Amino acid sequence: MSDHKERLEQSLSALMDGEATDIEMHRLLKEVSEDSELRAKWKRYHMVSAAIKGDAATATIDYSAAIAAAIDEEPAHRQSGLAVFAGSAGRFAIAASVALVAVFGVQQLNSPLDSVGGISEFAGVEQVDEENTGPAIQFPSGFQPIINARTVSAGGNNKSSQYVTPVIEVRQQVKRKYSEAELRAYMNDVMAKHSNHAALNSNQGMLPFARLNETEAAAQKE
Amino acid sequence: MVLSRLFASIKVAALVAAFLLHGPLFAAPMESAHDLMSKMAKASRELNYQGLFTYEFRGNLTSVKVAHGVDDGQTYERIQHMDGVQRDVLRRTDNVDCLRTGDMLLRGSAYKINDQSYARLEDFYEFHIKGQGRIANRQVVMVHVLPKDKHRYGYVVAIDKQSGLLLQSVLMSHSGKPLERFQFVDITIGMPFVELGFDLDTSDFAIAALDQSNCIDDNRQITTSVSNWSAQWLPPGFVIASHQIADSNGQESIMFTDGLAVFSVFIDSDPGRSLPAIDANLGATVAVLTKADINNQEYAICVVGEIPRATANQIASAISLSPTSPSSISPLP
């Protein structure tokens, strides 16, 4: 018996340290309801621990008996046979539905795209490889170049910078003289041609045409 | 006793129910993602339809009204941008029967790269059916298309259950962010051609000529002129879809597809153009322009497509003139 007691006290101090196992906890709860000596010890331990932590040690009243009595009084805890049945059936129903969910869940085939924000998010530009995001300079007709630090004067500060719908984003790699208009014409041309190709080969119906911006669509008509 | 027997019978009943409920999912002819994709390839070319779709990227939203009809072996398309500058495009494709590389790959056929190797869409994408949804007031099947490598993007597509038409397509970055979204808001499918209102006699159709995209021949390859340019590296799964010889501006182009993604390579030999080496984005489309100096001749090589920028860069730097025929691209006189 003293052996048993010793073990209980060890469990109790483990509980005080927050290291008690589930089994120890259950045993303590069971014993503490019957063993007033243990209950007193528990209370003492708590007061000591509270004192050490600097809390006011006010827990001198034992509520446990009153709480236990109050729980017994509650109608919800007086179990009838039907309640036992309903309780078990309910548990089983939950288990069965979990199984069904598991079955359907597997059927659904999870994909990595499920875990992300989803497709309802607004579409954006992938930023992963955009390392050179220097000051943006506006080209006419909706170009929005992202030019790296080496090149700063590629034609900004004209009235075209008031364009607010960036359509083409340009990142310049090499500093060099070139004609802005020529570049624009070239980009529009190749993008229009690409869209035409893509419309025939991507199997996405008319989607590629939507990618064309205004000037490109005009160029394509010519 | 009675209760436990009752439980036992409930359990059996539930198991039977569970089996019956999920059984048909295995057995029923639920269309595979692959069937859906090939149905989609066919539908977008062969059906008559008209509707309104939205296209969105980077917070820009445009809406486009389209009509698509097939009459007498010819495909007619009308594309009308509903906002901004008035833009209407009328387009005609002369041979509805022409099967192209992209069609073929998407229909599940293998494209013959050479006698030993074939390109198959499934080798480069995973397809997951994600259940059903509703787009443009129609029942759709949602399919997630996931790339198996970093050289292409993924898609979330919604395919019309009844017709197989693509009603939504969201291009997804590798980090799972939408790059562009194409989505019908209203569509009518399967009306007679006359109801589409194409004016065949007076309208000026831009002809999507044959040489813009070559048709597949019996040998499961495209018949095309051989380019002097070749890519020393291509992302796996991409095969040539068409090749156009140098036009009057000295521009040659080659297009590649893996069945879903498409990119074009433009090679300009005109030295008169002073183009910078530059990277550009148009929505989800990237353009990588590089300069190459070969045999004292300056070339501009531009890769354009809905592919990751890193891939486009890699392709651009891998384009080279075949050593066997060094000077067959002649610059402008």
Task: Tell me what the mean pLDDT of segment B92-97 comes to.
Answer: 69
Same domain, B188 and B125: yes
Does some domain include residue B23? no
Range 41-70 of B in CB contact (< 8 A) with A? 41, 44, 53, 55-60, 62, 64, 66, 68
From first CA to last CA, the distance across chain A in angstroms is 102
* Continuous segment of H or E residues that includes residue B18: helix B2-27
pLDDT of B189 > 90? The answer is yes
Do B150 and B117 belong together in one domain? yes
Predicted-complex ipTM score: 0.76
Question: Which of A144, A139, A145, A190 shows the shortest CA–CA distance to B300?
Answer: A190
Per-residue 3-state assignment (H helix, E strand, C coil) for chain A: CHHHHHHHHHHHHHHHCCCCCHHHHHHHHHHHHHCHHHHHHHHHHHHHHHHHHCCCCCCCCCCHHHHHHHHHHCHHHCCCHHHHHHHHHHHHHHHHHHHHHHHHHHHHCCCHHHHCCCCCCCCCCCCCCCCCCCCECCCHHHEEEECCCCCCCCCCCCHHHHCCCCCEEEEECCCCCCCHHHHHHHHHHHHHHHHHHHHHHCCCCCHHHHCCCHHHHHHHHC
**Angle, helices A64-73/A22-34, rounded to nearest 10 degrees:** 90
Closest approach of chain A CAs to the CA of B61, in angstroms? 10
* Residues of chain A contacting residue B260, judged by C-beta atoms under 8 Å apart: 202-204
Q: Tokens representing B219?
A: 């040998």
Residues B128 and B228 in one domain: no
pLDDT at residue B323, as a whole number: 61
Residue B196 lies in a domain: yes
The verdict on residue B24 lying in a domain is no
Share of residues in chain B with pLDDT > 70 (%): 72
Does position A152 have pLDDT exceeding 70, yes or no? no
- Chosen domain end from B145, B180, B208: B208
Q: Do B75 and B131 fall within a single domain? A: yes
Among the listed residues B272, B254, B274, the one whose alpha carbon sits nearest the alpha carbon of residue B264: B254
Whether A115 shows a pLDDT value over 60: the answer reads no
Q: Any idea what DSSP says for residue A161?
A: G
**Distance (Å, whole) CA A121 – CA A109:** 22
- Whole-number Å distance between alpha carbons of B178 and B167: 16
The neighbouring-strand residues paired with B287 are B280, B304
Which residue in this structure is represented by tokens 């589930």? A22
For residues A54 and B255, which has the higher predicted lDDT (pLDDT)?
A: B255
- The model's pLDDT over A161-206, given as tens digits with 9 standing for 90+, comes to 333 444 455 555 444 456 777 777 888 888 888 887 777 766 666 6
The verdict on a CB contact (< 8 Å) between B176 and A117 is yes
C-alpha distance from B325 to closest chain A C-alpha (Å): 25
Nearest residue on chain B to A120, judged by CA atoms? B178
The tens digit of pLDDT for each residue in A11-67 reads 888 887 777 788 888 888 888 878 888 888 888 887 777 777 666 555 456 666 777
- Does A218 sit within 8 Å of B213, measured CB to CB? no
> Which of B248, B42, B267 is closest to A203 using CA atoms?
B42
Q: Which residue in B56, B126, B266 is closest to A190 by CB distance?
A: B266
Residues within 8 A of A (CB atoms), B 177-236 only:
177-182, 206, 208, 212-213
B179 and B297 part of one domain: no
* Among A42-46, B51-55, B225-229, the least confident range: B225-229
User: Given an 8 Å threshold on Cβ–Cβ distance, is B85 in contact with A92?
Assistant: no
Pairing status of strand B206-208 against strand B87-93:
parallel
CATH code, B317: 3.30.200.100
Could B58 and A121 be called an inter-chain contact, meaning their C-beta atoms sit closer than 8 Å?
no
> In DSSP terms, which residues pair with B166 in a beta bridge?
B159
Same domain? B73 vs B173: yes
Least confident of B207-221, B261-275, B296-310: B207-221
Among the candidates B179, B208, B237, a domain finishes at: B208
What pLDDT does B332 receive? 32
In this predicted model, which residue has the larger pLDDT, B231 or B271?
B231
| pLDDT over 70 (residue B105) | no
Domain finish residue from B159, B183, B208: B208
Q: Please say if the pLDDT value at position B4 is more than 80.
A: no
Do B248 and B140 reside in the same domain of the chain? no
pLDDT tens digits for range B139-156: 999 999 899 999 999 999
Rg value, chain B, Cα: 24
pLDDT at A107: 42
Q: At A32, which amino acid appears? A: V
Among B40, B213, B279, the residue with its CB nearest the CB of A203 is B40
Number of structural domains, chain B?
2
Residue closest to A107 by CA, chosen among B84, B193, B22, B104: B22
With respect to residue B191, please indicate whether it lies within any of the assigned structural domains. yes
Contact B280 A187 (CB under 8 A): yes
The verdict on residue B117 lying in a domain is: yes
**Angle A2-16/A22-34 helices, nearest 10 degrees?**
120
Judged against a pLDDT cut of 50, whether residue B213 lies above it is answered with yes
Task: Answer yes or no: is pLDDT of B207 > 70.
Answer: no
Return the CATH number of the domain spanning residue range A2-75.
Answer: 1.10.10
**Between B249 and A146, whose confidence is greater?**
B249
Mean pLDDT over each residue of chain B, to the nearest integer: 77
C-alpha A15: how far from chain center: 34
Q: Which residues are within 8 A (CB) of B96 and not within 5 positions of it... i.e. 6 or more apart?
A: B45, B46, B70, B73, B74, B75
Name the minimum distance, in Å, from the CA of B99 to any CA of chain A.
9
- Element housing A94 (H / E): helix A81-108
Pick A168's closest partner by Cβ from B44, B175, B280. Answer: B280
Query: What token pair was written down for B108?
Result: 């599940």
SS3 A67: helix
B64 falls within a domain = yes
CA–CA min distance A70, chain B (Å): 31
Q: Is B2 a member of any domain?
A: no
The single residue listed with the structure tokens 């046979």 is A81
Q: Is B115 a residue whose pLDDT tops 90?
A: no
d(CA A182, nearest CA chain B) in Å: 7
% of chain B beyond a pLDDT of 90 = 20
Q: What is the CA radius of gyration of chain A?
A: 37
* Of residues A133 and B85, more confidently modeled: B85
| pLDDT of res. A150 | 31
Inspect the interface and report whether the beta carbons of A123 and B282 lie closer than 8 Å: no
Check if B94 contacts A (Cβ < 8 Å).
no
Give residue B96's pLDDT.
Answer: 64
Higher pLDDT, B98 or B267: B267
Residue B49 · residue B165 · CB < 8 Å: yes
Average pLDDT over residues B238-249: 79
Query: Residue A10 — φ and ψ, nearest 5°?
Result: -60, -45
The verdict on B39 and B185 lying in the same domain is yes
Same domain, B46 and B146: yes
Which residues of chain B does A203 touch, with a Cβ-Cβ cutoff of 8 Å? 37, 40-41, 44, 102-103, 106, 166, 259-260
Long-range own/partner contacts, residues A45-50 (CB < 8 A, 24 or more apart): A45/A12, A45/A13, A45/A16, A46/A16, A49/A16
Domain limits for position B308: 224-321
Q: What is the pLDDT of residue B299?
A: 85
In this predicted structure, what is the pLDDT of residue B307?
Answer: 92
Model confidence at B50, in pLDDT bands (50, 70, 90)? very high
Q: Is residue B330 part of a domain?
A: no
Hey, are the CB atoms on A190 and B287 less than 8 Å from each other? yes
- Which chain A residues are within 8 Å of B240, Cβ to Cβ? none
Q: Find the helix or strand (DSSP H, E) in which A86 lies.
A: helix A81-108
Q: Do B164 and B66 have their domain in common?
A: yes
Model confidence band, residue B330 (pLDDT cutoffs 50, 70, 90): very low
Q: Give the model confidence (pLDDT) of A69-93 as tens digits.
A: 777 777 665 555 555 555 555 555 5
B138: β partners: B135
CB contacts, 8 Å: A126 with chain B: 173-175, 177, 179, 308-309
- Domains of chain A, by residue range, sit at 2-75, 129-177, 178-222
B147 and B258 part of one domain: no
Q: Looking at residues B204-222, what average pLDDT do you find?
A: 60
- pLDDT class of A131 with cuts at 50, 70, 90: very low
Q: List C-alpha distances in Å: B237 to A5, A100, B74, B113, B262.
A: 73, 39, 30, 10, 11
Task: Count the Cβ atoms, other than its own, within 10 Å of residue A88.
Answer: 15
User: Residue B142 has what pLDDT?
Assistant: 92
What is the average per-residue pLDDT within B44-66?
87
- The residues pairing with A172 across neighbouring beta strands, listed in sequence order, are B278
Kindly report the CATH number assigned to the domain that includes residue B68. 2.50.20.10
Residue found under tokens 């977008």:
B44
For the cut 80, the answer to whether the pLDDT of residue B305 exceeds it is yes
B202 and B287 in a single domain? The answer is: no
* Residue A66, phi then psi, degrees to nearest 5: -60, -40
